[in-house]
Structure 1
Amino acid sequence: MTDLSYAARARFSPLDLRGRPVPVRAAAVLLGTLVLATASQISVPMLPVPMTMQTLAVTLIGALYGWRLGALTILAWLGEAALGLPVLANGSGGIAPFMGPTAGYLASFPLAGALVGWLAERGWNGSRPALALAAMLLGHALCLLLGGLWLATLIGAEKAMLAGVVPFLLGSLVKSGLGTAILTALARGGNSAGRV
């Protein structure tokens, strides 16, 4: 008897990066950092933290790359930012974003990407839209939780909740839905290509 659950898990993503040679995975990391940098520039100015498409990119990279390569890609992007490259929201970079109001959110990104990737590898992916949505929501919730906790140390819990969590709830829900739609479309496209 064949264990089909293992076969299903082996191809959790249409990108199937786990089995690719190292140069292909390295190129995927570079591409992922470019996607993250681009998503960071799609921004709605808010104080003390801008709303961007970063979390959508973070959760998608986790879901498509898997937890290890996804987290590594996000860490590489944060490393680029720490070196001063203008890859964060509003073209910022350097050490300052890692010390100010956005530090908790930035620290949450590799963890959120890893969480979504880990869940995707276990079937919470585009092949199962309801589970993919749950994974995306959990990834966004982790970002808001850690970001809000750090912000609370700077401005107090109530202000952090009102300024750093509540305004982002609807956006997180919308980005989770959009991420799920992208994953579902990619999974269907990958399944169609596999049947040709």
Structure 2
Amino acid sequence: MERNLTLIALFAALIAGLGLIPKFTLAFGVPITAQTLGVMLCGTVLGAKRGALAVLLFIALVALGLPLLAGGRGGLGVFASPTVGFLVGWPFAAFVTGLIVERWQGRLALVASVASVVGGIVVLYVFGVVGMSITLGKTIPEAALLVTAFIPGDVLKAVLAGLITSGLARSRPSSVLSRG
């Protein structure tokens, strides 16, 4: 149990660390950051439950006011911004990503990449589009059109998550809990 808590905290810190990579904010207020790679890795490495818990810990720290989001954002105000759907969707994205890696056997790099696309892009975009629709006063199709700018970068992050997870499994097989 102590190992699980340590890994959950470590991966919450990983998401925070990835927020230090400079963000690029699109015209409608949603930034492109490396933090979604951390969310994908939470699922591919830790598995569904532990991955979602790591993301929930991170979001709780943000809600408490710690400036952990890209660009040093934090506090309850971020939950009233166009990014709210993405933030709410992060634990679900990590959970779905982890669940797919846990259940689907095969080459880990491919499985983790596909799981990251399904959980870290498809599931996350559902939440993100709804959140943007509400906060920006746009229809669902209009909000969906806005997120198309994220697709190439997120696909790259999904492939990276698959390669990182596979490399970690080769070097330290016991550290990839999603396959344990």
Q: TM-score if structure 2 supplies the norm length?
A: 0.86
Work out which of the two has the higher radius of gyration on C-alpha atoms and give 1 or 2.
1
State the shift of 1:148 in Å.
1.0
- Contact 1:124–1:135, Cα closer than 8 Å, also in 2: no
Q: CA RMSD in A?
A: 1.6
- Contact 2:113–2:160, Cα closer than 8 Å, also in 1: no
Structure 2 counterpart of 1:181: 163
The one-letter amino acid paired with 2:125 is L
Deviations 1:18-53 (A, max 9, x none): xxxx22222112211111111123222223100001
Are residues 115 and 167 of structure 1, via their aligned partners in 2, closer, same or farther at CA, if it must alter by over 3 Å? same
Q: How many residue pairs were aligned? A: 168
Structure 2 counterpart of 1:143: 124
The one-letter amino acid paired with 1:102 is T
Pairing 1:83–2:64 present = yes
Are residues 124 and 56 of structure 1, via their aligned partners in 2, closer, same or farther at CA, if it must alter by over 3 Å? farther
State the shift of 1:162 in Å.
3.3
- Contact 2:80–2:135, Cα closer than 8 Å, also in 1: no
Structure 2 counterpart of 1:36: 15
> Does the residue aligned with 1:90 lie in a helix, a strand or coil?
coil
Are residues 28 and 97 of structure 1, via their aligned partners in 2, closer, same or farther at CA, if it must alter by over 3 Å? same
Among all aligned residue pairs of Structure 1 and Structure 2, give the percentage whose two residues are the same amino acid.
Answer: 31
Deviations 1:62-89 (A, max 9, x none): 1111111111111010000000001112
The one-letter amino acid paired with 2:154 is S
The one-letter amino acid paired with 2:114 is A
> Does the residue aligned with 1:86 lie in a helix, a strand or coil?
coil
Q: Which consecutive residues of structure 2, in runs of 5 or more, have no partner in the other structure? A: 174-180
How far apart in 1 are the matches of 2:62 and 2:133? 24
State the shift of 1:98 in Å.
1.1
The one-letter amino acid paired with 1:41 is L
How far apart in 2 are the matches of 1:37 and 1:94? 14
Stretch of structure 1 that moved more, 105-114 or 54-63: 54-63
Pairing 1:160–2:143 present = yes
The one-letter amino acid paired with 1:141 is V
- Contact 1:124–1:132, Cα closer than 8 Å, also in 2: no
Q: Which of the numbers 7, 15, 25 marks the counterpart of 2:4?
A: 25
Deviations 1:102-150 (A, max 9, x none): 110000000000001111111357x433222210101222112210121
- Contact 1:49–1:102, Cα closer than 8 Å, also in 2: yes
Pairing 1:63–2:44 present = yes
- Contact 2:19–2:33, Cα closer than 8 Å, also in 1: yes
The one-letter amino acid paired with 2:70 is A
The one-letter amino acid paired with 2:145 is L
- Contact 2:44–2:161, Cα closer than 8 Å, also in 1: no
